[in-house]
Amino acid sequence: MNSNEVRNAIISGKTFIGIELGSTRIKTVLIGADNTPVASGSHDWENSYINNIWTYSLDDIWRGVQDSYRKMADAVREQFGVAVETAGAIGFSGMMHGYMVFDKNDKLLTPFRTWRNNITGQASEALTRVFSYPIPQRWSIAHLYQAILNQEEHISDINYMTTLAGYIHWKLTGWKVLGVGEASGVFPIDIATKDFNRKMVDLFDGLIGPRNLPWRLENILPTVLVAGTKAGELTEAGAKLLDISGQLKPGIPFCPPEGDAGTGMVATNSVAARTGNVSAGTSVFAMIVLEKELSGVYPEIDLVTTPAGKLVAMAHSNNCTSDYDAWIGLFSEAIKALGIEVSKAKLYDTLLGMALQGDADCGGLLSYCYVSGEHITHFEEGRPMFVRSSNSNFNLANFMRVNLFTALGALKTGLDILIEKEAVKVDKILGHGGFFKTREVGQKIMAAAVNVPVSVMETAGEGGAWGIALLASYMVNRTENESLEAYLKHKVFTGEKGYTVEPDPSDVAGFNRFMTRYTEGLAIERAAVEHLK
């Protein structure tokens, strides 16, 4: 689309808006009728650790959403000379899981508990046993049951439970719904019905029955919708809440709110069986679309769905880039202390690029990037740490390499279950997120970890905000009975260019040697958690 065509599309409402709330950034993307991004805006934010809970305040949530949207609208005005008054559809996405519960007056009963909180171990184990289905600590139902086990005061007052994306969607449209992909991180989904698993809902109600709570689970859960389904319209109050300038008009349709896992699948065209994608940033998760159900129950593996309801195995690690970001920040301080100015981009590209010059197994170095707890390796708390022996090959290249390796250490533990125990087949992995920003480096390290070709698309930088915008577009533009898989293949990713890195056998062997050291060294991390308060 040329500039004049984009301008006319904006005026006539033939564009689509996607907004995603990630762990460190809220991003708004406007796409044209051809599904390519034409403008964007973002807002940086950070979670807070308050009373032993990782959280974001409601004020921070709305301030961030409004700022991100405003910056997109400002970019449109600067580039095309028009205001954003309408759109073909809007979609919201957010970091999955967590716990947001409200009373009958729509008051938040307890601060938002994010996916990052590993405080539901007792509930997670109990529900996994009762359901014979993996219930990770991050899942909303684990948070709910743990609050019940803890006899928290707010439990009797719960009228509605949702996720971050579901909350924002509700406030802007009045609809209490979730997309099936997002819903699959709240409570198990029945793949046949593409709804919450009725049998497990009954099991949960039976489990909590003796507590005589004034609600049943089905009464406090959102309605589940699949991709392509209309999920309400922007209300007048919602328009004023989203666009504080007052230019956005109500009546714009919404697609179902999704989680960052689902939008990552869409943004990387990874919704078909035997495809997978890895989203690597503050946290890292790999998602493989399965051909069949797994034979066993593994606490390390989440079973979620695509936005269309196909079964997906997800290995999710709470920690990825935060620790090496901190180390690079330290190097930046040292450079500035010497009176030298280096751009952030050059510093990252230079230091991360050195990782490719290191020994295949990092020269015997060991690191743990556990800023927070790590459920795959069974840590409720984390202690970032770096360890070496006196005869390790300690140089900058190996130091940067071990920081990249350890960012994938817990993830590798989960993926090995799928590939080695369940013989899950993966033809290719598509990567997106900050881990892949420095060309080739993240891909080579990821390919070493998974021993599968890793590709990064040119559009991958737009991430989940683009993914949810595509779901908004799919809802409006799909033909009758056109699947999400077909829509993406034929109307979005036709001619898409990318860069693929094949696994290097020596890197794969080196990563495996590192993993032996990583697994054996977990006792050191355990000691740090126990003795370093």
Contact 316, 136 (CB under 8 A): yes
What whole-number distance in Å separates Cα of residue 151 and Cα of residue 161? Answer: 17
- pLDDT greater than 70 at residue 235: yes
pLDDT, average across residues 503-519: 98
pLDDT number for residue 432: 80
User: Three-state SS across 371-433?
Assistant: CCCECCCCECCCCCEEECCCCCCCCHHHHHHHHHHHCCHHHHHHHHHHHHHCCCCCCEEEEEC
**What was the pLDDT predicted at 492?**
93
pLDDT, residue 451, reads 92
Which tokens hold the place of 427? 């033809």
User: Tens of pLDDT along 124-143?
Assistant: 999 999 999 999 899 999 99
Q: Is 2 left (phi over 0), alpha (psi -120 to 50) or beta?
A: beta
Residues 215 and 144: their CA atoms lie apart, in Å, by 13
Looking at residue 179, the DSSP 8-state letter turns out to be E
Q: For 43, how many CA atoms within 13 A lie in the half-sphere containing its CB? A: 19
What is the reported pTM? 0.82
Which region holds residue 40: left if phi is over 0, alpha if psi is between -120 and 50, else beta? beta
* Pick from 60, 13, 58, 53: nearest CA to 32: 13
Q: Is 115 helix (H, G, I), strand (E, B) or coil?
A: coil
Average pLDDT over residues 321-350: 97
The answer to whether the CB of 532 falls within 8 A of the CB of 383 is: yes
Instruction: Give the residue-averaged pLDDT of 523-529.
Output: 97
Distance CA 382, CA 525 (A): 8
pLDDT digit string, tens, across residues 440-487 = 999 999 999 999 999 988 765 567 899 999 999 999 999 999 999 999
Q: Over the chain, what is the mean pLDDT?
A: 95
User: Both tokens of residue 530?
Assistant: 């126990």
Domain ranges of the chain: 268-317+411-487+494-502, 322-406+506-531
Instruction: Name residues whose C-beta falls within 8 Å of residue 338's C-beta, 6 or more positions apart in sequence.
Output: none
370-395 confidence digits (pLDDT tens): 999 998 898 989 999 999 999 999 99
Dihedrals φ, ψ of 371, to 5°? Answer: -70, -35
CATH fold of 268-317+411-487+494-502:
Nucleotidyltransferase; domain 5 (3.30.420)
* Amino acid 99: pLDDT: 98
- Letter for the amino acid at 197? N
Residues 173 and 233: beta-carbon distance below 8 Å: yes
